Structure 1
């Protein structure tokens, strides 16, 4: 299976997990967020840009996950109301932290909070099988300038 990540080019040369808090993990848990497609990876990244826009410093990472690796899945029906709230990650972090701490599988399949019928994959960089996941290649991200203009005009209140 291929998964995709959009990240600043300076981080695109390896599968690096800094351990920063995210929707599905608490601080200190080393995970990498990926998506089932480039468009979903783009949308996920775009929504987090918060007015900063994109530039030529971003890359698309194409990552190969061997089909033999086990995947845990979070069904939308199992999530409490409010799980998509971008101001409060506590519902998702509780689920993701439990998965990470149990360490049973190297991947967690989760619904995208932006487009919930699509999926993201959270990779546990400390799992024993993580070494089997490979960065195949990177390519430059060149979004339409209208998207960059739109993001720069966005000003969250």
Structure 2
């Protein structure tokens, strides 16, 4: 499986999940280390755009293509577990608790989560402490230019 992420220059080679540990996210509490990836380049772009102030074109970004072996089991959050409005901002701690539990149990390398930005699309969270994490590889990194129309 190929997944994608967008990262600014200083973090283009970092797939450790340190940024998520430092700041937390929708699917992890601050202090819980996890790598956020997306199913498509378009979803990565939207995920950045919704967190960027209007008229602030993100600069110095790189597209990172990440390989994850297809034979690894993926944990998928059942839709019926998610409460109504789980996808609003600011997000509550319900989704963080789900992600934290996934990381603490350590049964799976990957957790497939629905995108809060694009219905029907998915993000893949990768546990950097899972024994199979050494199979996760960056296979390409290239400069990424955002379309300015997204931020005007």
Q: 2-side partners of 1:84 and 1:70: how far apart?
A: 25
Residues 9, 62 of structure 2: 8 Å contact kept: yes
Structure 1 residue ranges, 4+ long, deviating more than 4 angstroms after superposition: none
* Deviations 1:4-38, CA, capped at 9 Å, x for gaps: 00110210123131113110001111101100000
Is residue 6 from structure 1 mapped to residue 10 from structure 2 by the alignment? no
| Residue 82 of structure 1, CA deviation | 1.9
Per the normalisation by structure 2, the TM-score is: 0.91
Q: 2-side partners of 1:144 and 1:106: how far apart?
A: 33
Q: 1-side partners of 2:49 and 2:67: how far apart?
A: 23
Give the corresponding residue for 2:136: 133
Is residue 41 from structure 1 mapped to residue 37 from structure 2 by the alignment? no
For structure 1, the residue ranges without an aligned partner over 5 or more in a row are: 151-157
| Residue 70 of structure 1, CA deviation | 1.4
* Deviations 1:48-80, CA, capped at 9 Å, x for gaps: 11343212x000000000012111001323201
Per the normalisation by structure 1, the TM-score is: 0.89
Q: CA RMSD in A?
A: 1.3
Q: Count the aligned residue pairs.
A: 148
Residues 62, 137 of structure 1: 8 Å contact kept: yes
Give the corresponding residue for 2:32: 29
Q: 3-state SS of the aligned residue for 2:150?
A: helix
Is residue 53 from structure 1 mapped to residue 69 from structure 2 by the alignment? no
CA 53–89 in structure 1, closer or farther in 2 if over 3 Å, else same: farther
For residues 61-100 of structure 1, what are the structure 2 equivalents within 5 Å?
61-100=64-103
Q: 3-state SS of the aligned residue for 2:107?
A: coil
